[in-house]
Structure 1
């Protein structure tokens, strides 16, 4: 069991002839007691200060651990966002390529249809021109025959 200042103060020594000077021993014991009390107080203050520093250290260690975990979580979240963004970009690119292919294929099909329609219209125009030419030539042929001259004379005579 540790020695206390009260133990020092209450300590009594047995008396002998030719022993130590009692006043001097008491004075020395008082001095030891005061120093011992001061050391106990200082030790208690140091323990309290040490406890406070340990609490602060624990607090900062806790903050450091929390920050470390937060940084790891943030890094993982950033990696996940980056990964998701890459996936989404690839999906958008694939979709755009599909749409581009579809648009090109639609345009080619439309171009083919229009080309076929133009060719059909050219054929119809050619047929129409040939028929019209035949009709006009037939009408010109009728106009150039002598039958019209006789018809004109008959009509004039009947009117007169």
Structure 2
């Protein structure tokens, strides 16, 4: 089983026999306290590193879930972080022998040295394994993050290119439709203008024709008026002459009728 701070704390060494050399008990206890503290610190550091790796894995999973359209891009599965190799079980510590007057002090010194060496080796191994695992996990997380960023950038650039292409196609289609509508509107306007000009020409021709007819009619009426005046004048003159001739045929001393006729003739002459 792996060495724990409790093992270091609870270890007990037998005292050397009287007259034999041995380590100072206070110094050994102080060193064991340091070993216990360092081992506890390394275990806590290893636990913190494992927690940090778990947090990085959770953040990576959240990034994969929240990356939106990038999730559609097929990606190679992220390599699983290597599991730390289990620490080899330390050699079982020999149970402390009961204090005896004939136990050599060399055994106690050797046991203490083995415990210290084993504790130092275990601490170094835990530190190395924890650092290696943390560096590997951080490298994997960094690689996965860079790959996700690269995939997201590639996807974003592709989406931007597609959007730009669609926008250009829509703009070209709108321009084509606008040109067609303008051409049709111009053709319609030209047709309306040509039709208006044709109708104007027809109306003006009709007006000109009617004017000519009216002018001809007016000339006819003027001619008729002149001819009528001439005929009327001739008729009136002939009537006056006839009245004068009749008046001259009546005797001078004829009665009132003769005087009246003579007067009427004079009146007609005066009117002429």
TM range (shorter): 0.7 to 0.9
List runs of 5+ in structure 1 lacking aligned partners: 11-21
54-63 or 23-32: which moved more?
23-32
Where does 1:78-97 land on structure 2 (aligned, <5 Å)? 78-97=160-179
Is structure 2 residue 231 aligned with structure 1 residue 147?
A: yes
RMSD of Structure 2 on Structure 1 (CA) = 2.8
Identify if the C-alpha distance between structure 1 residues 39 and 140 changes in structure 2 by more than 3 Å, giving closer, same or farther.
Answer: same
Gap runs ≥5 in structure 2: 1-87, 95-103, 240-267
Using the TM superposition, name which of 34-43 and 73-82 deviates more. Answer: 34-43
**1:134 corresponds to which residue?**
216
| Distance (whole Å) between structure 2 residues aligned to residue 65 and residue 94 of structure 1 | 43
Higher-helix-fraction structure: 1
Separation in 1 of the partners of 2:160 and 2:207? 68
Cα distance between partner residues in 2 of 1:90 and 1:152? 93
Structure 1 residue runs of 4 or more that deviate by more than 6 Å after TM superposition = 150-154
Larger CA Rg, structure 1 vs 2: 2
Deviation at 1:72, TM superposition (A): 1.0
Matched with 1:115 is: 197
Alignment of 1:24-43 (within 5 A): 24=106, 26-43=108-125
Distance verdict in 2 for CA 1:152–1:88, change over 3 Å:
farther
SS in 1 for 2:225: helix
Partner Cα distance (2:204, 2:191) in 1 = 20
Q: Taking structure 1 as reference, are residues 104 and 147 closer, same or farther at Cα in structure 2, changes over 3 Å only?
A: same
TM-score, normalised with respect to structure 2: 0.45
Deviation at 1:110, TM superposition (A): 1.4
Post-superposition Cα deviations, 1:92-124, rounded to whole Å, max 9, x if no partner, equal 111111111111211221122112111111211
Instruction: Provide the rounded CA distance (Å) in 2 between the counterparts of 1:142 and 1:112.
Output: 44
